[in-house]
A and B are shown apart, each in its own frame.
Chain A
Amino acid sequence: MHLLRTDSGADGRDLRAPASEQIPVALTAPSMDHLDQLEAQSIYIFREAFARLKKIALLWSLGKDSNVMIWLARKAFFGRLPFPALHVDTGKKFPEMYRFRDHYGKQWELDLRVEPCPPIDAVDPTLPPAARSAARKTEGLKMALAKYGFDGLIAGIRRDEEATRAKERVFSPRGLEGNWDVRDQPPEFWDHFNASPPQGAHLRIHPILHWTEADIWAYTKRENIPIIPLYLSHNGKRYRSLGDQDITNPVASSASNIDEILAELEQTKVPERAGRALDHETEDAFERLRVAGYL
């Protein structure tokens, strides 16, 4: 699908500095469509994070959302990611995902840091199995934080994914243990962000919080951002959301390209994370993880 793009020049590469007599031609700027607005907002957030924090990294989960994030960051910083991309690796991702990481990590010239997770024994045994497995990632993340001393981590969560995520701020302070206190969130308005984490604590920054699943796909198509083929239908099934192999299930779908995914999303009432086992184990599993610092 081709969305409204009237700003000529985006396709015609003009390297000459325009002479001043050419200028009065365009009196009004081309209008911004929905995706343009989302993009501009995300770029603003990226630049604020880069300006106001000392040491940040982008959490690259290899999924569609974090790939859009990397793309947006390269737009914000004119082609490069001026901070590390951190992959907290459970070792249980799909082979397609590892191939994707190794290929595009190089092609996009990322400063890629791969951090392994601790064994399952190190994780809270009272959590249900899938939640416990996913919580390994939290531990891996904490270790990476301790190792590099990041004061800000950029994460690709979206408000429409899950009710708990809807309550997030764009700049979201974490406690010294990496935990999230949903009751005591600072006010955030007019694109002014609380960017002063206490000594030793860090911030989560959410540049695509305001995007929806459909926005992600429409933008991926418009910008021609590469995706992992697991998102497309294979034998009547596809993945809507990619996590660890053992806790992520495909959904029934015949969508074999992005247009078909978008058409499917128009109709569906099934939540995006339906294929994620951990969301269904108990009512509060997700929040407990979030409070503990899970993404």
Chain B
Amino acid sequence: MNMIVTPASPATPNDTSSMPNGTTRPQVRIVIVGHVDHGKSTLVGRLLHETGSLPDGKLEMLKAVSARRGMPFEWSFLLDALQTERDQGITIDTTQIRFRTNSRDIVLIDAPGHAEFLRNMITGASQADGAVLIIDALEGVRDQTRRHGYLLHLLGVKQVAVVVNKMDRVDFSADRFKEISEEISAHLNGLGVTPAAIIPISARDGDGVAERTDRIGWYKGPTVVEALDGLEPARPLEALALRLPVQAIYKFDDRRIVAGRIESGSLIAGDEIVIMPAGKIARIKTVESWPVTPIAGRQGAGRSVGITLDRELFIERGDIIAHTDTAPRETRRLRARIFWLHDKPLAKGDQLLVRCGPKESRATVVAIEKAVDPGELSSIENKAIGRNHVGEIDISLSNPIATDPYTENPRTGRLVIEVSGRIAGGGLVLSVDAGQRAVPVDIVPVESALRPDERSARYQHNGAVVWLTGLPASGKSTLAKALERRLFTNGGSPILLDGDTLRAGLNGDLGFSAADRSENIRRLAEVATHLARNGHIAIVAAVSPAREDRATARRIADAAFREIHVATPAEICEERDPKGHYKKARAGALASFTGIGNDYERPEAAELVIDTSTRTVADAADEIEQMLKTTGVLFDEVVDLAANI
């Protein structure tokens, strides 16, 4: 393996730390990852020793401790400073240690390899500019090796050096090294990660760490220290479009300061900006600071700033400030590639809290597109994403958020998922579906004077679209009315939208062709969604036989959609026939009647299925009420997915 590491470039002002002695050296944060017991802590201990970074007496002290305990000294003791760790024999958390190579200040983050502590590995690796992936030459690539490789990709760590450790255990075999090199290269390349170097070492004896010893004479590439010397610090994202997520609005004095950190791009007083997702436009009046204010210069990515605007606008935490010509997309639905850390697998229909920077939104998992264990060689696709597994999911959000695909902006294109107030997963935004809801720039909808939480506080429920689908005479309208009465009695705000009633006015121009039926459903969904957005529970009773049309309705109403299949058997519906439609249809007097043909497409994943022939109206209404509670529409019971991660 002949790997060439970029020689350390001369320090540029952009990526240097100013050292007390006046010299400038780039600071690079490195994480060491890999399978448990492949030698991470040993490598760290050895690196500290080789670079002369140990405090005076530390080595001697630990050697004395080992002797006192009757154990042979191990390099990893240097890191395992916690007694609890030594007792258990594994590193349980991220330790940060600093040392220097020729041209770099290295901050070393040691991440645990034990699968149990993947959350700690992620915590460590997420802070790194580069990574060292360590593999035991004897054991070769293991599941945690692959899993960590995959997570480096998900966390956006692109500079990866691979070290094949314990070469002394395989007699420094070049063939064994080549075999492992090829396997790990193939895995990483498949993830779009190209290793910067693959290095044979013995961390215990020192080969390959700071020098190429005779025992690895066949290896011509860099040592570990040289490879670390070649890693580049993270660069600010100033070249990208401006993204200033709003952390808070302060009004300590007569200034109204919008505070946040510039995640990408830059800004200066006078810039015309847009506040997303609302789309309101303003101009930056001043950039405020302390002790000197205001400041006139341009402010770039990475700065925590405060700005004032030239007009009073309603802005809230989580909004994103961008330039008008490069605004992020507003969406209620996105696809993400995520890793999952929670005990309970993530499944379709789960209710979550999603955080995108300071913005938070309740969300529902609409679909699980992929769910795999990245540690396994042949991944089996699952329906749910298990603990420490990864997957791709579609999420629908109860509040619109402004975001970017991660390929366009690595800072704003990522999110974390919280369950019961604790971070349970995270990932990258693959795509945002602005869909039909994209608002053309020249249309400026007037916003409601009321906030959603004002309404929900009064009604004790969130807005929703309760969609009753089923054969004619299956009992949809009866149930709809019973539910309307029930909700209203409890202080809620239900509104009944009956398909036939709307055909009398709004949909009076529509007939019964397939296209007209689709348009009929779309309009019903739009009206219902508008009501739901304004806090009401829209109860829609419509045959809506086409699965495709109902999917459209779900897409429009998104997280607010609750589908109820009124699944009364066809023969009972025909027997009831209160409007005489079945009779007419049988007589051939009613064209395009759903019911007696096979043209009703049954829902496959309705939130609730009710057969009105086997229960009373009151019982059915109870069931609907219960479903609305457990899916977070009615407030009675708090949905608690699980208590622990």
Contacts and interface: CB of A to CB of B under 8 A. Distances in A.
A189 B338 CA distance: 13
Contact of A183 (B27, B92, B259): B92
A228 interface: no
Given A185-B93, A186-B423, A78 B270 contact: no
A24 B573 CA distance: 72
Nearest to B94: A167
Contacts of B14: 31
Contacts of A11: 292
B300 interface: yes
A30 B270 CA distance: 18
Given A47-B259, A80-B252, A14 B247 contact: no
Nearest to A19: B270
Interface in B57-109: 65, 79, 81-84, 92-98
Interface residues of B, number: 81
B295 A218 contact: no
B508 interface: no
Interface in B275-315: 283, 285-286, 288-304, 306
Interface in B416-445: 416, 421-423, 426
Given A78-B288, A163-B82, A218-B20, A194 B300 contact: no
A31 B94 CA distance: 30
A166 interface: yes
A23 B120 contact: no
Interface stretch (B261-269, B396-404, B497-505, B599-607): B261-269
B159 to A, nearest CB: 18
A77 B252 contact: yes
B248 A265 contact: no
Nearest to B288: A78
Contacts of A80: 252
Interface string A181-214: 0110111111010101000000000000000101
A23 B423 contact: no
B615 to A, nearest CB: 40
A34 interface: yes
Contacts of B119: 185-187
A212 to B, nearest CB: 7
Contacts of B65: 283
Interface stretch (A35-43, A53-61, A142-150, A233-241): A35-43
Interface in A10-58: 10-15, 17-20, 22-23, 26-37, 39-41, 43-44, 47-48, 50-51
Interface in B107-164: 119-120, 122-123, 126-127, 155
A47 B303 CA distance: 13
A191 to B, nearest CB: 8
B261 A7 contact: no
A143 to B, nearest CB: 27
B560 interface: no
B554 to A, nearest CB: 29
B645 A186 contact: yes
Contact of B416 (A23, A51, A190, A269): A190
B278 to A, nearest CB: 19
Interface string B350-370: 000001001000000000000
B55 interface: yes
A159 to B, nearest CB: 5
Contact of A8 (B27, B55, B296): B296
A190 to B, nearest CB: 6
Nearest to B53: A269
A287 B80 CA distance: 13
B236 interface: yes
A192 B426 contact: yes
A263 B97 CA distance: 20
B286 A262 contact: no
A223 to B, nearest CB: 9
A188 B123 contact: yes
B478 to A, nearest CB: 43
A40 B423 contact: no
B213 interface: no
Interface in A147-178: 159-160, 163-164, 166-167, 169
Of listed A14, A160, A187, residue having the most chain B CB within 10 A: A187
Contacts of B260: 47
Given A35-B18, A190-B416, A269 B56 contact: yes
Given A163-B95, A190-B126, A32 B290 contact: no
Given A3-B18, A79-B290, A166-B95, A20 B304 contact: no
A32 B297 contact: no
B238 A164 contact: no
A251 interface: no
Contact of A22 (B126, B236, B270, B303): B270
A287 B18 contact: no
A218 B72 CA distance: 41
B266 A287 contact: no
A25 to B, nearest CB: 9
Nearest to B105: A34
A187 B82 contact: no
Contacts of A93: none
Contacts of A75: 289-290, 304
B597 interface: no
Given A18-B269, A79-B290, A166 B84 contact: no
Given A29-B299, A183-B92, A263-B20, A78 B252 contact: yes
Contacts of B55: 269-271
Contact of B82 (A44, A167, A192): A167
Contacts of A113: none
A73 to B, nearest CB: 10
A247 B604 CA distance: 71
B414 interface: yes
A27 to B, nearest CB: 8
Contacts of A29: 238, 266, 297-301, 303
A2 B591 CA distance: 87
A37 B302 CA distance: 7
Given A44-B304, A287-B83, A192 B122 contact: no
B22 interface: yes
Residue from A7, A13, A29, A82 having most chain B Cβ neighbours under 10 A:
A29
A199 B286 CA distance: 41
A283 B294 CA distance: 51
A182 B93 CA distance: 8
B83 A23 contact: no
A95 interface: no
B297 A26 contact: yes
B628 interface: no
B21 A266 contact: yes
B292 A78 contact: no
A89 to B, nearest CB: 29
Contact of B20 (A166, A265, A287): A265
Contacts of B291: 79
A108 to B, nearest CB: 12
Contacts of B18: 3-4, 33-35, 218
Nearest to A13: B292
A50 B358 CA distance: 12
Contacts of B289: 10, 75, 78
Q: Which 10 A-B pairs have the closest CB atoms?
A: A29-B300, A196-B421, A163-B81, A262-B20, A189-B126, A34-B17, A187-B119, A9-B296, A43-B304, A26-B298
Given A3-B18, A9-B295, 13 more contacts: A20-B270, A20-B283, A23-B269, A28-B266, A29-B299, A30-B297, A31-B236, A32-B303, A36-B302, A51-B248, A167-B82, A189-B123, A189-B127
10 contacts: A26-B297, A29-B298, A34-B17, A44-B247, A47-B259, A167-B93, A183-B92, A187-B423, A190-B414, A284-B82
Interface of A: 1, 3-4, 7-15, 17-20, 22-23, 26-37, 39-41, 43-44, 47-48, 50-51, 74-80, 82, 159-160, 163-164, 166-167, 169, 182-183, 185-190, 192, 194, 196, 212, 214, 217-218, 259, 262-263, 265-266, 269-271, 283-284, 287
